[in-house]
Structure 1
Amino acid sequence: MAAAAKRVPLPAILLANDLLDGDVVFATAGAAGTLVWTRDPAQALVANDDAAADGLEAFAAAGLRGNTVVDAYLVDVAIEGGHPVPRHFRERFKTLGPSNRPDLGKQAGEGIASAPKG
């Protein structure tokens, strides 16, 4: 029997890449309790328990099947200033943008959608 995949520690968010443009997207709450994708990491829905993490994983699976996202996975986060911040460098780097130009990318306030993508 194969061992079950180990889940990241909670709290966690769901991170993926948009299939068409490659940008990093995050699962967030949409209208009527649905989940949608957003480019704004501050809007990422935080799973604090296994049931919420299961819901995010189901949304990731649907996105993969529907060819809207690739490389979807849960990321453990810390809550800083009321917003989720990935604990690991790779994922933190993905939320910011190019490290060689801090005047560009998400760390400069560019490309962050105010409305969820769905």
Structure 2
Amino acid sequence: MRTAIVSAGLLLGLAGCAGVQRAVPTEELVDSQVSIRQAEAAGAESIPDAAQHLQWAREQTNEARRLLERQRRDEAALFLKRAEADAELALALAREAPARAEADRLLQQVQQLQQSTVQ
């Protein structure tokens, strides 16, 4: 008898959990928007690869909003995670570009110095 009561309680608990809808992924939405703004501030739009990832991040965030309006929270959360990842990649590419340009400039100077010492 006791086992039946415990089993019934567990089944009711599981049924209750299954009926609970996931909360709106507010944190993920904010995280993706912050990452997009950081990438924009770093100049991602002026670097082709970064600009592409930034555009994808914006599109995925917009799609997540549409999904949230249709109460499709789990799918929206996935889109927001992808949006944040693309925005972070855009930010990394934007930060890398000036460093790469400086490295290329220094490499050219070294090559010029090497050529001048050989001659």
Q: TM-score, normalised by structure 2?
A: 0.27
Q: TM-score, normalised by structure 1?
A: 0.27
Q: Would you tell me which structure has more strand in proportion to its own residues?
A: 1
Question: Larger Cα Rg: Structure 1 or Structure 2?
Answer: 2
Q: Would you tell me which structure has more helix in proportion to its own residues?
A: 2
